Structure 1
Amino acid sequence: MQFHTPGLPSYRRLALESGFGGRLKEAVKIVRDYQGKIITEDKRLKLIENNSSKIQLQIDKMKQHRVEYDMKEVQYCTFSKNPSQPIPGTVFCMTLEESVNLAALTKHLKLLEDKYAEIKHIMSEKYVPAQRKADLDEEMIAVLKRRDLAENLNKELQFRYKSDHSIVEELLEIDPGKAKETEILLSCTERFDELISLGEYEKAVYFAANSPKGILQNTGTMNKLKAVGKTKGKPFPLLLFFETIFSTSQAFRHPIDAELTLEGIKCGLSEKRLDLVVNWVTQERLTFSEEAGDVIFDYGEQDTYNKSKCLALAQIIYSECGLHKKVLLCLCKQGQIHGAMEYIQQFKFTSDDLMQLIKLCPHTELIQCLTKEWNGKPPSLSFSLVILHLFSVDMKKVGVKLLQEINKGEKDAVEHFMIKDPFCSLEKWQEVANICLQNGFDKLSNDIMSILRSQAGVTEISEEDDVVNLMQHVFW
């Protein structure tokens, strides 16, 4: 192929033609190579498609044969069990003959028992209950706590030894007798602290309880045992301390002081050991206080099952302390109304005291006894004033109940009741009549007003008068 390029010199035209022709040949060669590859790939693709078709045909034939075979199996297969085969589901397989043989069954039972014992032994060695871990954790906490306590005691003892040693030397020069007592106290304290640091709490408690002259029966010892806390599976050291010193209190010349008595009662009740508290209060030599009685009284308010016991114990303590108002309250809350009335006659109580008693213990029987004659003596309280007080302090239900009891009687009974009331004026009875009218006791209200009008010196005045009260009276 030749190219003609006019206007160029012959040598330049020759060079241009030769360069263009080389590139064209190279392009043609590349195109031919690609065409050859395409033909080759087409042949390979056709071959693969042919092979795939053959394989698919073989798969379809195999599926068809499998379906035909399964249908024949279902149609002609018969099931049969060999009775000589072992019974499935047993640890040690047994044949049918062995399962009805007593000797074989006995042997099999022995094998099972041995296997059970073996498994149990393996479990006891390889596994530990979760509770055991919790117990170990608790023991570790107790040991660490005991270690800290021992370290603190050690520091305290070192400091005390340095200071007390100089004090003992001074006391020896001044008073040899006091120095000896101080030396005994120091010796007992050191021994007690040593037992605490070693975790020998029971020994420490008995040592403190039996210390010479009870020198360790104090709040300091109590606080140390309280700091120890509880240890699972062992007696509570603080409760054991109180139980021991209270039981041995009669052996000492001086009873347990009021503070230890109070703390001991609190500890016993917190551990729900009311039986111990009953024994301490009724038999032991203690120093009672109002606070101790209040603790037992409040515990009885929460524990309704043992309320009567707690009230009786609180009554003993209040009586020992001369707290007559609280003794009277305990009697009333126990339902001992007649005993309470005798107690009122024995000691002097003001009307305010009795009104407060009614507020704390609003028993209908108690109020009736207080507003009536008792053993030939005049009533302790005025019925009308009690009614007015109950309605004024938001105790309307109790007041209504009393009015219901009075309303059951006849007019003569109401008149007798009013005449025997030396504390209430006619104006107060008029207020009672108004309260009766407001609460639906119309008959009782009319009876009271009728009785008031019938009294000598009483006249009804009109609303036009300048007098404030509807009734005016003179002394009966």
Structure 2
Amino acid sequence: MRVIENNSSQIQLQIDQMKQLRAEYDAKEAKYHTFSKDPSKPIPGMTLQESVSLDALTKYLKHLEDKYAEIKQVMLKKYVPVQRKADLDEEMMVTLKRRDLAENLNKELQFRHQRLQIISNALTSWVKSDMSSSFQDFVEQIQKTKDLHGDQGIIEELLEDDPGKAKEAELLLSYIERFNELMLLGEYEKAACFAAHSPRRILQNIGTVNKFKAVGKIRGKPFPLLLFFEAIFSTSHACRRPIDAELTLEGIQCGLSEKRLDLVINWVTQERLTFSEEAGDVIYDYGEQDTYNKAKCLALAQMIYTECGLHKKALLCLCKQGQIHGAMEYIQQFKDFTSDDLMDLIKLCPHTELIQCLTREWNGKPPSLSFGLAILHLFSVDMKKVGIKLLQEISKGGKGKYSKMLL
């Protein structure tokens, strides 16, 4: 029992010591954290006289209340409840949808305005022209102009809701209007260059050719139509497609009418043109009239005929140039010539050397024509003099040779 009592006394003593230490600690904490205002000290921001004035204190109180309200408002803006954020997100989505609808409507109205403006420009260009055709025909003429990749017309672009095509159509129509202005001002050289560089070759057509033809010749100045063809042919390499056959023919005729064979030679040999039988015939006929340049014209015509696959006319050009051996090689290369074709060739070009080559073996191959049939043909088409001359030439070669050729 005594031991228990001693232990209990010691435990009680320790408990009392701990309570005393805790009381001292709490006293120290209270000393450091207790806020006390000494009323004898002045209020910060106020003088001693103001601190005892009721009006000054009231004003200062109002200032503190305003500052408190401001801080509270800032706290409300800085920290937003989750529900408020969700409401704002939903409101923002509705606003964005309204904005998208407004933008789409704005674009549609802009496209409609552009289409109306384009049609207005087309109408203005038509009014400034001679108005020989209806407005619908005028627009259809523009439609016939093909782009570099297809055949889509401008009239279709006027009705499409595509801003890119609308701008392109507007550009094309502005080119037409500017071209008409240059023609009215008499700036034909500038108009020719303008037409040559027009987008999608919209001004490279027969309609433009007719406008230059209507101008005619101007004394002391270059022929406007020739300026136009010089401009468009010189830019032919810049385009993917060559100049069409109709413009090529018109250009060659214009150049030859102005006796500018040098230009025609350059166009045919250097530029990207579309040849035709008519173009070859024009050059061939010009050579028949201009004997001084006949050889050049025959060479050009032969080039065009060969390009077009007109082998009969190409062969005739070779023969008329005196290139008999070249003609024989041409016959051997293209085996499409019949006896009738060769008979017609003899009639159009009755050269003794040609007939002899056709009726002899050539490079180990049998004759293309029978000598006897050739002679009979010459007599039948009233070319007896040629036939007699040929017989005389053959007779000089000896009787054996003559008999061999007849066989």
What TM-score does the superposition give when structure 2 sets the normalisation length?
A: 0.62
Q: In the aligned structure 2, how far is the partner of 1:274 from the partner of 1:158?
A: 36
Stretch deviating more after TM superposition (402-411 or 323-332) = 402-411
Does the 8 Å CA contact 1:300/1:311 hold for their aligned counterparts? yes
Q: What letter corresponds to residue 307 of structure 2 in structure 1?
A: E
Residue 177 of structure 2: aligned partner: 190
1:386 maps onto 2:361 in alignment: no
Q: What letter corresponds to residue 339 of structure 2 in structure 1?
A: S
1:356 maps onto 2:344 in alignment: yes
Q: What letter corresponds to residue 283 of structure 1 in structure 2?
A: Q
Residue 131 of structure 2: aligned partner: 156
Equivalences for 1:40-439 in 2 at 5 Å? Answer: 153-154=128-129, 156=131, 160=135, 171-173=158-160, 175-348=162-335, 349-418=337-406, 421=407
Q: 1:157 to 1:351 in 2, by over 3 A?
A: closer
Give the deviation of 1:156 after TM superposition.
Answer: 2.9
Equivalences for 1:426-465 in 2 at 5 Å? Answer: none
Give the deviation of 1:161 after TM superposition.
Answer: 10
Give the deviation of 1:250 after TM superposition.
Answer: 0.4
- Greater relative CO, 1 or 2 (CA 8 Å, sep 6+): 2
Give the deviation of 1:254 after TM superposition.
Answer: 1.2
Q: 1:161 to 1:180 in 2, by over 3 A?
A: farther
Q: What letter corresponds to residue 189 of structure 1 in structure 2?
A: I
Q: Deviations over 1:120-152 (max 9, x none)?
A: xxxxxxxxxxxxxxxxxxxxxxxxxxxxxx998
Q: In the aligned structure 2, how far is the partner of 1:163 from the partner of 1:244?
A: 25
Does the 8 Å CA contact 2:306/2:314 hold for their aligned counterparts? yes
Q: In the aligned structure 2, how far is the partner of 1:261 from the partner of 1:173?
A: 34
What secondary structure, in the 3-state scheme, does the structure 2 residue paired with 1:367 have? helix
Does the 8 Å CA contact 1:168/1:183 hold for their aligned counterparts? no
Q: 1:154 to 1:247 in 2, by over 3 A?
A: closer
Q: What letter corresponds to residue 186 of structure 1 in structure 2?
A: L
Does the 8 Å CA contact 2:375/2:387 hold for their aligned counterparts? yes
Q: In the aligned structure 1, how far is the partner of 2:236 from the partner of 2:324?
A: 36
Percent identity of equivalent pairs: 78
Q: In the aligned structure 1, how far is the partner of 2:137 from the partner of 2:334?
A: 58
Q: In the aligned structure 1, how far is the partner of 2:400 from the partner of 2:237?
A: 61
Give the deviation of 1:352 after TM superposition.
Answer: 0.4
Residue 121 of structure 1: aligned partner: none
Please, what is the CA RMSD of the aligned residues? 2.5
Q: Deviations over 1:378-416 (max 9, x none)?
A: 110000001111000000110010111122233322232
Does the 8 Å CA contact 1:213/1:252 hold for their aligned counterparts? no
